[in-house]
C-alpha cells in the first residue's frame, strides 16, 4: 500500500453513494421538497412558491439546453433584482453553463467588452436597459441569442431580442434536472468594477458558492422564516451568495426593482423583512430618508453591510430605527463576505463611540473561511496582532475564486505565495479582529508617515454637516504628499468653510493627519457606487 | 483544450489559496479566534474557555505525535461524556490519526476484537471502565499504549496504564498545528453495535464530518448561545457530529458522566441548556422521572431524538415540561442525523394525535444530505410517494461513510447500485417526508400481509399502562407468522392482562395486525440501549 493511510484507504474510495459534488444548485431541490408551498419570491403583486419557483428555474435550464447551451458556455444577464435574475442563479448552472450577471450601471463599451471577453452565447436583458444594451450589441461584432425581460414594473425601454423571457421559459420542461460533474467546475463569472483599465473576470466554482452560502447560513442563523429584501444588487458577487443562501433554508426573497426609500420601508413592514444587505450608501439612504418614508416596523431587522466601513453615525442612526447592523468584508474574488464583525457581549457596556469603533472593524472570518491573516508582503510573515502594524490582508479558503478568466498573470499575482492577496492594507487587533486601513494605493505618505485616508474620512463623517467624504493624496514638494479631502455636504447643512472642516479634523485626530485642502461638491462614483478615487487623484493634480 | 469547460479551466486550477481540505478540525481554531473567552466546556466545577480547550486539544495532539502517532494510526478511547472525550475529537485527528470512540457498554471480548480489528496503537480509558478494559487488554495479545483518565467525578475503578491523561497532555505543546492533507482522509472509526456477529468498523472522512456538522448548524440554527447537555453518548456517531457542530459556532458543551435525571434537570436550569439530544429512551427517562427531579426551567429547550420514532405520548409529555421535540433519523454509516422531521406551520392546527403522527415521521433530508429516496431494491426505482408503498430507504450524500474497514464485501453490498442501502423499510409520503416502517428483518408477514412491528409498537405505547414494547414475528402453522408482543408495564401500572392488551390493540388498528400473544417482563437491550429483537425471536420459538 503506497498511501500512508493504509487500512483506511483500501477499498474505501469514492462512489456516487458517498461522494457528490458540492453545488448551490442542490439547495433548490431541498427547498422545493421541504417547503413546496412557502413563498420563495415576492415581486410587486407576484408570488412564487418554492414549487413554482423551482419549476421556473428548471424551465429556464431546459430552454437554454434546447438551444445548445451547456458545459463551458456563458450566459449573461442584465437585470435588476427581479425574479428572472434570481432564476438565472439556478437555471443557468443547471445546464452546466456559467452565469455572468452584468452590472447594470456599466456603459455600452464595457458591456461589449465583457460579453466578448466572457464569450457569452446568450444575453437575457431587462428592457429598462435597452438603450445601453442596444448600443453594446451594435459594438459586439457577432451574433448572440438575446432574450428580453418584459417586466410589468419596468418603467421604460424597448424589446430587442428574439423572444420574451416568459415565452422562452415556456419552451422548457419543468422536469429538467442537472448538476455539475465536478464541484470545481465554474458556476459564475463576475467582472470587477475596476477603477482603471479593463475589468477582470472573476471565475467562481460550485464548491465555493455552496460553502459561502452555508457560511452565510451559519453567520446569520438563516432559516425558513428569513425574509430578505434585495437592496443589494444581485450582480454584486451574486448578491454576496444570499441568492443561494436564502433558498438553502427555504426563506423568502423580496425583489426590488429600484432602491426607493418610500417603497423600502413599507415593504419591510408589510412582508416581515428581517434581513437587509447593502453597501454603507444603502444605509446612508435609509438613515437620511425623509421622515414620512420611515414607516415603523415591529420585527428586528438584521443589516449586513460591507464594501466600506459604516461610519459610526450611520450605525447609530440605523439602530435608532430598529435595524441591527453588522459590518462585513469581502471582495468579488472571495464570493462577497469573507469576514464579519462578530458581536461580543461585552461591547454592550461600551459607550456609543467605543462600541461603534469596535463594530466598524472588518472582523473575524466567516465559519467557512479557512484562514485569514495580515501579512507583510515582503516576508510573507504575519504582522504582530497589535492593532497598529500594517500589512496586507490575505486569505486562504475554499471561498476564493478559481482565478481571473484568460488572465494568467493577474491570477498568478493574486495567488503568489499560496495566499490570495486582497490588496487591502490592515491591522490585526489583539482580539483577532482585522481592520482595513486602506487599499494599498490609498495610503497617503506625508513626511515619511503613513496616513490612512479611511481614518480621515471616518473623522470627516463625524462632522454634522458632512454627508459624504473621500480623501486622496495630493503631491506636495515639501511633504511628498498631503491629504486632500473632497466633501459633499448634507442638503440642509449650514454654511461650512474649508477651514472649519480642517479645524474640526485637527480637533479629532493627530494634526499631521488632518487634510490640508478641502474641496466641496458631488463625488464621482463607479457603477457600483464606489467613489472613484482615481478621478479625484487626477483632479488633485490640477489644483 | 480537452476539458469541456474550456476557458473556465485554463490556468484556473487549485492552489492553497483557493482550495483547502474540509475538516471539522478547522472549527476549533475558529472558535478560539472568535470567542477565546467564552465557555467551551462545563464539567462539574470545571470550566474551560475556548482558548483553554483548544490548548488542551493541541497538547493532546502534540503528546500523541511525540509518541509517533500520525497518519493512518488508530487511537481508541473508552470514556463517558467528559472533557477528554471531547478533546480527542480534535487532538487525535490533528495528528492525522483516526479516532475510535468505544461504546462503553461493550463487553471485554468485543472491545478486544475492536482494538485488534481497528489496529489501535493507543487506548485512552476512563478508570470507571477498568474492570472490562483490564479484561480486554489481557485478551489483546499485543502491546498498546494505555493512558488513564482519572476523572474527579469517577466513582470507582483503578488506573491501568502508564500515565494519567492530564500528565500525558502536559507532555505536549499547546502550539501544535495539524490538518488533513486530503478531506477524504479518514477521521473516525465507529463500530456498529451489531445485533449478531462481529461489529463492523464504519470509517468516516473529514469532508463528511465537516458537512454533517454544518448540516446540524443549519437545521438547528446553532450559534454562540447554544448550550448542549451531553445526554447522548459521544461514542455514538461522534455524538451525531454535535461534538464538532457546537464548537463550530462557539457554543457550550455541558458534560455529563452519568445520565441521572436528578442531575439533568438542575443542570438544564443552571447552565441555560437549550439543546438536548438522545434516543427516545432518554426522553422516556425524563418524562417518567420522579416529580421532585423535574426542576422547572424558563428557556425553550430543543430536543433532537432519533434511533426510533418517539411515541406520541412521549412527545406530548416532553412538550408539557417545556421541551420542543424534533425527530431525526440516521445510522452510524451516515454520521448520525441524515433526516429530520422539519416542522410545518400548518401542523399547529392539528389535534395532538394527528400532530404527533406527523412529527413521529423520519422526515426530510438535512440540508447537507444530497439525495434520499425510498427505492424498490429489485428495480432500483423510487416507489410512489403515496405513504403506503414500502421500499428501502437509500441515501446519496457526502455524509455517508467511506465504507466498512477491512470488509470489502459488506462495503460493496452497502453501496450496490450507487446508493447507500440503509436496510430500513419505509414509505415516501406525498409531502416528501419519509417514514420508516421497519428494518427489513422486522417486518411480519402474516397470511401474506405485511405487518409493521413498529406500527403495533406505536399502538402498544398508547396503552396507559405500557412503558416499553417490542413486537416480533412468531412462526405460525396457519398464518406463516403472527405478531408477538413483549411488554414492560409502568412501575405503578394497574393489573393488566394479555387479553386486555390484545383487545386494546384491536380497538386501535386493523384486527389482523393486533398481536396474538403478549408476554410481560423486562426487555433485553444492546449496549446502546436498542432492544435486542433477535433475543426475543429466539424466545418466541420456545413458546
Whether chain B has a CB inside 8 Å of the CB on A365: the answer is yes
Q: To the nearest whole number, what is the mean pLDDT of chain B? A: 92
pLDDT at A89 over 90: yes
Predicted confidence (pLDDT) per residue in A217-242, tens digit: 999 999 999 999 999 999 999 999 99
Which residue on chain B is closest to A247 by alpha carbon? B367
Instruction: Collect all residues of chain A within an 8 Å Cβ-Cβ radius of residue B216.
Output: none
pLDDT tier, B1 (very low <50, low <70, confident <90, very high otherwise): very low
Number of helices and strands in chain B (H, E): 17, 27
| Average pLDDT rounded to a whole number, residues A261-273 | 96
Q: Do B33 and A4 touch (CB under 8 A)?
A: no
Q: Is residue A92 within 8 Å of residue A178, measured between CB atoms?
A: no
Chain B, residues 157-216, CB within 8 A of chain A, namely 184-186, 189, 203, 208, 214
Length of chain A: 543
CB-closest option in B7, B119, B370 to A20: B370
Average pLDDT estimate for A440-466: 81
Residue A340 lies in a domain: no
Nearest-Cα distance to chain B for A22, in Å, is 9
Dihedral (CA of B283, B288, B294, B297) sign: positive
> Which of A14, A17, A22, A370 is the best residue to mutate to test the B interface, defined by the most B CB atoms within 10 Å of its own CB?
A17
Q: Cβ(B95)–Cβ(B70) under 8 Å?
A: yes
> In B383-513, which residue ranges form alpha helices assigned H by DSSP?
408-414, 453-461, 498-508
User: For residue range B4-30, what is the model confidence (pLDDT) as tens digits?
Assistant: 568 898 889 999 999 999 999 999 999
* Domain boundaries, position A451: 447-541
In a domain, B231, yes or no: no
Q: How far is CA A249 from the centre of its chain?
A: 20
Q: Report if residue B33 sits inside a domain.
A: no
3-class secondary-structure state, position A403: strand
Characterize the bridge pairing of strands B371-376 and B364-365: unpaired
Confidence bin at A437 (pLDDT 50/70/90)? confident
Q: Does the CB of A251 have a partner CB in chain B at under 8 Å?
A: no
**What is the pLDDT averaged over residues A252-270?**
96
- Establish if A132 belongs to a structural domain: no
Final residue in a domain of this structure, among B146, B179, B212: B179
Tens of pLDDT, residues B312-337: 788 888 989 999 999 999 999 999 99
Partners of residue B15 in chain A, C-beta under 8 Å: 415, 418
Least confident of A496-505, B24-33, B310-319: B310-319
Per-residue model confidence (pLDDT) at position A2: 40
- Residue A391 Cα to chain centre, angstroms: 23
Of B10, B203, B415, the CB nearest to A15: B415
Q: Which three cell numbers stand for residue B352?
A: 395532538
Distance CA B211, CA A269 (A): 36
Q: How many CB atoms lie within 10 A of CB A491?
A: 7
Residues 6 or more apart from B271 whose CB is under 8 A from it? B42, B227, B229, B252, B254
Give B419's pLDDT tier (boundaries 50, 70, 90): very high
Of B18, B72, B371, the CB nearest to A8: B72
Grid cell at residue A26: 442542490
CB-closest option in B6, B364, B420 to A33: B364
Question: To 10 degrees, what angle do helices A261-271 and A280-287 make?
Answer: 90
Cβ contact A405–B7 (<8 Å): yes
Segment B294-303, tens digit of pLDDT: 999 999 999 9
Cα A454 to chain center, whole Å?
Answer: 19
Q: In what order do the strands lie in the sheet with B227-229?
A: B46-49, B39-43, B252-254, B227-229, B275-278, B301-305, B323-331, B336-340, B364-365
pLDDT at residue number B515: 94
Q: Does A217 touch chain B (CB under 8 A)?
A: yes
pLDDT tens, position by position, B85-118: 999 999 999 999 999 999 998 889 999 999 999 9
Give the DSSP per-residue string, B211-252: HHHHHHHHHHT--TT-EEE--S-TTSHHHHTHHHHHHHTT-E
Instruction: Output b/e per residue, A133-165; b: 16+ Cβ within 10 A.
Output: beebbeebeeeebbbbbbbeebeebeebbebeb
CB-based contact, B409 to chain A, within 8 Å:
no
Total structural domains within chain B: 2
pLDDT above 80: residue A194 = no
Closest to B484 measured CA to CA, from B532, B438, B424, B533: B533
**Alpha-helix runs per DSSP H in B462-520:** 498-508
Identify the pLDDT of residue A1. 35
Domain holding B472: CATH number? 3.30.300.30
pLDDT beyond 50 at A343: yes
Q: Pull the grid cell for residue B154.
A: 469517577
Whether residue A173 lies inside any domain: the answer is no
Count of Cβ atoms closer than 10 Å to residue B371 Cβ? 16
A285 torsion bin: left (phi>0), alpha (psi -120 to 50), beta (else): alpha
C-alpha cell at B394: 437509500
What residues 23-52 of chain B have any CB closer than 8 A to a CB of chain A?
Answer: 26-27, 30, 33-36
User: Is B164 within a domain?
Assistant: yes
Does the distance separating the beta carbons of B34 and A364 come in below 8 Å? yes
ipTM confidence? 0.88
pLDDT for the residue B356: 85
**Residues 260-299 in B contacting A (C-alpha not used; CB under 8 Å):** none
> H-helix or E-strand containing A53?
helix A50-66
pLDDT tens, residue by residue, A137-178: 999 989 999 999 999 999 999 999 999 999 999 999 999 999
Interatomic CA distance for residues B462 and A326, integer angstroms: 50
* Residue where a domain terminates, one of B179, B214, B245: B179
**CA pair distance A246, A266, nearest whole angstrom:** 21
Residue at B376 is within a domain: no
Query: Given B152, B179, B206, which residue is the final one in a domain?
Result: B179
Number of Cβ pairs < 8 A linking chain A and chain B: 185
CATH number, domain of B163, equals 3.40.50.980
CA-only gyration radius of chain A, Å: 24
Cell numbers 428569513 correspond to A226
Distance of alpha carbon A492 from alpha carbon B17, whole angstroms: 48
Chain B residue closest in CA terms to A419: B17
Cβ separation B71–A26 shorter than 8 A: no
Chain center to CA of B46: 26
Residue B461 is assigned to a structural domain of this protein? yes
Residue A23: closest CA among chain B residues belongs to which residue? B370
Amino acid at each position: 500500500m503506497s498511501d500512508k493511510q493504509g487500512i483506511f484507504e483500501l477499498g474505501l474510495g469514492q462512489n456516487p453513494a458517498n461522494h457528490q459534488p458540492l453545488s448551490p444548485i442542490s439547495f433548490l431541490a431541498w427547498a422545493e421538497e421541504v417547503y413546496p408551498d412557502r413563498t420563495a419570491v415576492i415581486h410587486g403583486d407576484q408570488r412564487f412558491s418554492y414549487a413554482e419557483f423551482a419549476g421556473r428555474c428548471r424551465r429556464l435550464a431546459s430552454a437554454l439546453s434546447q438551444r445548445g447551451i451547456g458545459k463551458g458556455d456563458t450566459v449573461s444577464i442584465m437585470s435588476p433584482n427581479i425574479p428572472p435574475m434570481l432564476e438565472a442563479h439556478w437555471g443557468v448552472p443547471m445546464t452546466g453553463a456559467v452565469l455572468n450577471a452584468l452590472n447594470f450601471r456599466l456603459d455600452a463599451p464595457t458591456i461589449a467588452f465583457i460579453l466578448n471577453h466572457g464569450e457569452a452565447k446568450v444575453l437575457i436583458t431587462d428592457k429598462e436597459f435597452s438603450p445601453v444594451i442596444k448600443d453594446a450589441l451594435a459594438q459586439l461584432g457577432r451574433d448572440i441569442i438575446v432574450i428580453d425581460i418584459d417586466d410589468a414594473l419596468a418603467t421604460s425601454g424597448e424589446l430587442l431580442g428574439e423572444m420574451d423571457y416568459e415565452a422562452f421559459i415556456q419552451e422548457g420542461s419543468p422536469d429538467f434536472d442537472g448538476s455539475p460533474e465536478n464541484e470545481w467546475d465554474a458556476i459564475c463569472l463576475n467582472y470587477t468594477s475596476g477603477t482603471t483599465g479593463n475589468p477582470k473576470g472573476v471565475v467562481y466554482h460550485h464548491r465555493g458558492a455552496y460553502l459561502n452560502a452555508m457560511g452565510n447560513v451559519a453567520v446569520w442563523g438563516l432559516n425558513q422564516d428569513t425574509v430578505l429584501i434585495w437592496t443589494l444588487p444581485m450582480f454584486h458577487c451574486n448578491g454576496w451568495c444570499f441568492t443561494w443562501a436564502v433558498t438553502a433554508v427555504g426563506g423568502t426573497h423580496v425583489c426590488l426593482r429600484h432602491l426607493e426609500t418610500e417603497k423600502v420601508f413599507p415593504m419591510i413592514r408589510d412582508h416581515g423583512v428581517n434581513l437587509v444587505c447593502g453597501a454603507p450608501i444603502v444605509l446612508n439612504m435609509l438613515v437620511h430618508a425623509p421622515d414620512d418614508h420611515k414607516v415603523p416596523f415591529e420585527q428586528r431587522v438584521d443589516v449586513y453591510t460591507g464594501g466600506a466601513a459604516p461610519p459610526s453615525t450611520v450605525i447609530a442612526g440605523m439602530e435608532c430605527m430598529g435595524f441591527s447592523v453588522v459590518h462585513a468584508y469581502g471582495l468579488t474574488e472571495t464570493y462577497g463576505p469573507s469576514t464579519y464583525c462578530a458581536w461580543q457581549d461585552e461591547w454592550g457596556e461600551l459607550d456609543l463611540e467605543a462600541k461603534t469603533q469596535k463594530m466598524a472593524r472588518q472582523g473575524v472570518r466567516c465559519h467557512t473561511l479557512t484562514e485569514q491573516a495580515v501579512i507583510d508582503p515582503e516576508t510573507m510573515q504575519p504582522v504582530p496582532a497589535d492593532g497598529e502594524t500594517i500589512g496586507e490582508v490575505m486569505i486562504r479558503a475554499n471561498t476564493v475564486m478559481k482565478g481571473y478568466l484568460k488572465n494568467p498573470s493577474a491570477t498568478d499575482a493574486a495567488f503568489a505565495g499560496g495566499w490570495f492577496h486582497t490588496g487591502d492594507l490592515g491591522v490585526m487587533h489583539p482580539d483577532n479582529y482585522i481592520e482595513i486601513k486602506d487599499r494599498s494605493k490609498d495610503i497617503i505618505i506625508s513626511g515619511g508617515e503613513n496616513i490612512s485616508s479611511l481614518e480621515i474620512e471616518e473623522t470627516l463623517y463625524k462632522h454634522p454637516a458632512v454627508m459624504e467624504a473621500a480623501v486622496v493624496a495630493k503631491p506636495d514638494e515639501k511633504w511628498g504628499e498631503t491629504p486632500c479631502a473632497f466633501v459633499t455636504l448634507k442638503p440642509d447643512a449650514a454654511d461650512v468653510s474649508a477651514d472649519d472642516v480642517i479645524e474640526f479634523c485637527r480637533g479629532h485626530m493627530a494634526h499631521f493627519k488632518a487634510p490640508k485642502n478641502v474641496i466641496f461638491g458631488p463625488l464621482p462614483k463607479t457603477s457600483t457606487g464606489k467613489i472613484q478615487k482615481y478621478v479625484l487623484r487626477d483632479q488633485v493634480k490640477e489644483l
